[in-house]
């Protein structure tokens, strides 16, 4: 186990002076005192860990209603849809239609904008990826409509493959 741990990774976990001890040591010869692993300040460690844990917000998902107001089956569907293209919902920004309409310019800071049941000004038709100024937009039917129609799910899957997997 000790061989798998790198001294630099231990600095993030411990602030005390650390010594790495080999797993196999001879009982006859005392081992040399290993060099201590230099520890970082707790503030630096916390900042580094927070930065690593911070979600990368390059995908904006616009929903007809707030995520909390969705039915459990719609939340599950959204989770499956995003997971299919390797998006963790915790790493995306989800907003409701009312939040989007209050500030449509907020889409500018995202590389990908995906809407469910919300019309986008750049979109001419649903299930077509629109590329503009380094951004990609995809409008879809609402999650409630997608739940009911397998054909719509198929259209969405094709468009999502183009947007996220190509």
Tokens of 130: 């629109």
Taking the domains of the chain in order of start, what are their residue ranges?
Answer: 2-53, 59-165
Q: What is the pLDDT of residues 43-78, one digit of tens each?
A: 554 444 444 444 445 899 999 999 999 999 999 999
- Residue 54: what pLDDT? 40
- Residue 153: what pLDDT? 95
Residue with tokens 């009982």: 27
Q: What is the dihedral of CA 160, 124, 149, 136, to 10 degrees?
A: 20
Runs of H (alpha helix) within 26-132: 42-53, 72-84, 97-102
- Residue 17: what pLDDT? 60
CA–CA–CA angle 132, 80, 71 (5° rounding):
100
CA–CA–CA angle 133, 136, 141 (5° rounding):
140
Residues 6+ apart with CB under 8 A from 127: 138, 139, 140, 155, 156, 158, 159
pLDDT, mean of residues 17-45:
53
Tokens of 8: 């630099």
- Residue 159: what pLDDT? 95
Q: Is the per-residue pLDDT at 140 higher than 70?
A: yes
> Which CATH number does 59-165 carry?
3.40.470.10
> How many C-beta atoms surround the C-beta of residue 155 within 10 A?
16
């Amino acid at each position: 186990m000790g061989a798998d741990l790198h001294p630099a990774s231990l600095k993030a976990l411990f602030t005390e002076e650390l010594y790495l001890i080999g797993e196999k040591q001879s009982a006859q010869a005392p081992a040399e005192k290993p060099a201590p692993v230099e520890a970082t300040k707790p503030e630096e460690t916390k900042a580094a860990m927070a930065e690593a844990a911070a979600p990368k917000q390059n995908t904006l998902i616009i929903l007809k209603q707030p995520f909390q107001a969705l039915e459990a089956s719609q939340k599950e569907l959204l989770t499956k849809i995003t997971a299919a293209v390797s998006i963790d919902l915790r790493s995306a920004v989800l907003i409701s239609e009312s939040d989007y309409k209050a500030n449509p310019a907020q889409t500018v800071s995202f590389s990908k904008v995906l809407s469910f049941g919300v019309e986008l000004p750049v979109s001419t038709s649903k299930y077509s990826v629109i590329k503009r100024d380094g951004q990609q937009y995809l409008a879809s039917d609402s999650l409630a409509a997608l739940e009911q129609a397998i054909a719509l799910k198929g259209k969405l899957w094709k468009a999502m493959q183009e947007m996220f997997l190509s």
